[in-house]
């Protein structure tokens, strides 16, 4: 069973000294070094370390903040280790998921993450409720003015639909949607030249 170590610093100016010494003293077989912010979910060296782990292996870090900067990010990784039967060790935090106390820590982490998500949800719902009571209209603002302006230009000018879309700040599909609701189309004048040289004037419906 392999013992894989991972250590991280945010910049190249920082040193790995204390982390590396602790990992080597623990007896890791291989160490992955990362120069990257802990807030980034995608980290090259961390992904390399995770990809070589096999069931029964142990993943070792110096401290929890070397692996993740938030409860949610940490819990995702711990769940992955649990599903793949990989032991997790944080030396400074005295966490070892191969022990009963370590497994208890994993359970507590999950409970805290669930509570955090529920509190966020409650705050959002409370904010929406308060906004409604104060007469705030929720959701995307209506495009009534833009639509009316677009239809006016469509019916009464020779401006192209693409140009109308740009001027009014709405999509071409939105313009056609409202035209279909009205059941009308703009009649656009066209000119052509006959074989005899006469100019012919006609009209087509632009759809």
Catalytic residues: 10
DSSP secondary structure string for all residues of the chain: --EEEEEEESSTTS--HHHHHHHHHHT-SEEEEEES-TT-S--HHHHHHHHH--TT-EEEES-GGGT-SSHHHHHHHHHHHHHTT-EEEETTTTEETTSHHHHHHHHHHHHHHHHHHHHHHHHHHHHHHHHHHTTPPPSSPP-HHHHHHHHHHHHH----HHHHHHHHT--HHHHHHHHHHHT---EEEEEEE-TTS-EEEEEEE--
Q: Is 85 left (phi over 0), alpha (psi -120 to 50) or beta?
A: left
């Amino acid at each position: 069973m392999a013992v894989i170590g991972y250590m991280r610093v945010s910049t190249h100016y920082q040193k790995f000294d204390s982390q590396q010494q602790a990992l080597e003293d623990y007896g890791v077989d291989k160490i992955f070094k990362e120069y990257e912010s802990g807030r980034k979910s995608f980290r090259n060296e961390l992904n390399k370390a995770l990809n070589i782990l096999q069931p029964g292996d142990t993943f070792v870090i110096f401290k929890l903040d070397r692996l993740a900067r938030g409860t949610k990010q940490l819990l995702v990784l711990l769940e992955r280790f649990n599903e793949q039967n990989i032991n997790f060790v944080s030396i400074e935090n005295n966490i070892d998921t191969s022990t009963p106390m370590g497994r208890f820590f994993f359970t507590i982490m999950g409970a805290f993450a669930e509570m955090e998500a529920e509190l966020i949800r409650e705050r959002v719902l409370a904010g929406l409720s308060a906004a409604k009571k104060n007469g705030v209209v929720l959701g995307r603002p209506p495009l009534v003015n833009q639509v009316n302006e677009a239809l006016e230009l469509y019916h009464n000018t020779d401006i192209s639909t693409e140009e109308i879309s740009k001027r009014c700040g709405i999509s071409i599909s939105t313009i056609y949607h409202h035209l279909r609701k009205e059941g009308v189309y703009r009649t656009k004048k066209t000119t052509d030249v006959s074989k005899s040289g006469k100019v012919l004037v006609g009209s087509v419906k632009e759809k």
